[in-house]
Amino acid sequence: MTTIAATAARKDFFDLVKGAAEGHRTYRIQHRRGAAVLMSETDYEGLLETLELLSRPGFRRRLNASVKQMRSGDTVPMEALFGTAK
């Protein structure tokens, strides 16, 4: 994350928005009264979705069990689930 002063952010605002929206860059905009973060809407929505999933009881436990299962090779081939590509 790049930190930029609020006065510089004001001057380069459109470039910062473009960098966030198109380049998935995140900016910390520092002001004497505090800081704010500028990020793309897509990244923000993804962050909210991740937080929502992680807040569900048992989600992390099931996720960790799935990762452990995958790493041990206990998986099902995609072809068995979806058939072979034509």
* Residue 50 located in a structural domain: no
User: Could you report the per-residue pLDDT of 5-57, keeping only the tens digit for each?
Assistant: 999 999 999 999 999 999 999 999 999 999 999 999 999 999 999 999 989 98
Instruction: Tell me if residue 61 falls in helix, strand or coil.
Output: helix
Q: Give how many domains the chain has, as a whole number.
A: 1
Identify the CATH number of the domain in which residue 22 sits. Answer: 3.40.1620.10
pTM for the structure as a whole = 0.69
* Residue 19 located in a structural domain: yes
User: Could you report the per-residue pLDDT of 25-35, keeping only the tens digit for each?
Assistant: 999 999 999 99
* Residue 58 located in a structural domain: no
